[in-house]
Amino acid sequence: MAKNKLNKNWLHDHINDPYVKAAQKDGYRARAAYKLKEIDEDEKLIKPGQVIVDLGCTPGSWGQYTRRKLAGKEGGGINGTIIGLDILPMEPIADMHFLQGDFREEEVLGRLAEVLQGRKCDLVLSDMAPNLSGIASADAARMEDLIDLAIEFSQMHLKPGGALLVKCFKDMGFSQIVEKFRAEFKTVTQKKPKASRVKSSEIFLLGRGLKNPAATHPETR
């Protein structure tokens, strides 16, 4: 009975959520687009000509927003490169390279290398979150694992002056995650966009400037 009430409350909140309504009106696949939009407008993250990777990109609202920011090239298309990776399938987004698979696997990394053609990324985005078990310690460990993956990916593929934006949760090993970011990035900023539900412990971390960048490909210097 309590579960049904919870589901009804969630459904009521969801249907009346202004960001859900805005997403439907603006053609975004999820309300999450407005979280990225607000952070981007505050931090000036997304600029024409950039190479941007979206980790855990399904269903694609972050990719849609990014594409709109890079649009405007003469003759259509975009000024820049957007690459989305996810183990789940995703409906195509115009001008976005979607690679389905686990980005820890050589085959997927090989396909990524084909798209990058030796270039490093300006921005890595991650809206990834674990499937929650309800066991606090296990959920925190899963969240930390996802952040570790995003940081490792950034160490391999990010330009020295590039940025990594990740989703995390205040109640899931947050202080350890912040410390990891501070160890890797010159500046670390916490962002809680208005589109993030007030009841949620969701928060975003933005790291800029790798402290120990990997060797840079000559063409990207």
Q: Enumerate the active-site residues.
A: 167
Phi first, then psi: give them for residue 147, nearest 5 degrees: -65, -40
Cα(46)–Cα(50) distance, rounded to whole angstroms?
7
Contact, 45 vs 65, CB < 8 A? no
Query: Partners of 190 in the beta sheet?
Result: 205
Q: Return the exposure string of 209-219: e unless at least 16 CB atoms fall within 10 Å of the residue's CB, then b.
A: bbeebeeeeee
Calculate the dihedral angle through the C-alpha atoms of 41, 91, 72, 193, rounding to the nearest 10 degrees. 0
- Which pair of tokens denotes residue 127? 């809206």
Phi first, then psi: give them for residue 4, nearest 5 degrees: -60, -40
State the distance between the two ends of the chain, measured CA to CA, in whole angstroms: 61
Q: Which residue has the tokens 């997403």?
A: 23
193: number of Cβ within 10 Å: 19
Is 145 among the annotated ligand-binding positions? no
Is 122 among the annotated ligand-binding positions? no
Is 17 among the annotated ligand-binding positions? no
Instruction: Return binding residues for S-adenosyl-L-methionine.
Output: 60, 62, 86, 102, 127
